[in-house]
Amino acid sequence: MIGLVLVVGRQIYSGSLSIMGILYSLLSLLSITIGTIMQKHVRLNLPMNVSIQCTVSFIVFSAFSLLFGSLTVHWTGMFIIALLFMALGVTVTASLLLYYMIGTGKLTNTTSVFYCVPPVTAILDFLIFKHKLSIIIFIGMVLIIIGMILINRRVATNKIDNQMKKSGMQILNCFT
């Protein structure tokens, strides 16, 4: 958690975060949490599930766009590339991966993916927009990576211990 604060702390302490941005982030976190809990009870195949969610999202956000904005789009090559990347790369692929991990019970892996977002965003910010990576952000990224390694190692060790206990019980049951 300290690494996460170090990576995003620049925006927190510089005063560049707005109250609305914080509220939207909290609403997003709440929505993801509720959606993750609800997703455990859905019995649809993944492609159908993602298709339904994308269709409903399209309808809802199109309605919001009509109410609060316009549907004017300036179709450029860069816009089309960005649209395809966001629609196929981020939305569909990430959703399928997320729901697969939730469905298989790999919640630690799912959490690890979310903790990867700030460091990856900082690296992309550096590579694409040429923003500087401060030593504080770099230390934060290292702490996040160390934390993820430790957590995933602990989970793997616990799984091995549980498997060994089960195997040991099975062996003992053979002798009784």
Q: Which of 149, 148, 150, 121 is nearest to 7 (CA)?
A: 121
| Residue 140 · residue 7 · CB < 8 Å | yes
If one counts the domains in the chain, the total is: 1
Backbone CA torsion sign across 127, 8, 96, 91: negative
pLDDT of residue 168: 54
Q: What is the pTM of this model?
A: 0.51
Residues 98, 113 contacting (CB under 8 angstroms): yes
Residues with Cβ within 8 Å of 103's Cβ and at least 6 positions away in sequence, in order, are 39, 40, 46
Residue numbers in the chain where pLDDT is lower than 50: 169, 171-176
Which domain covers residue 26, as residue numbers? 2-67+76-175
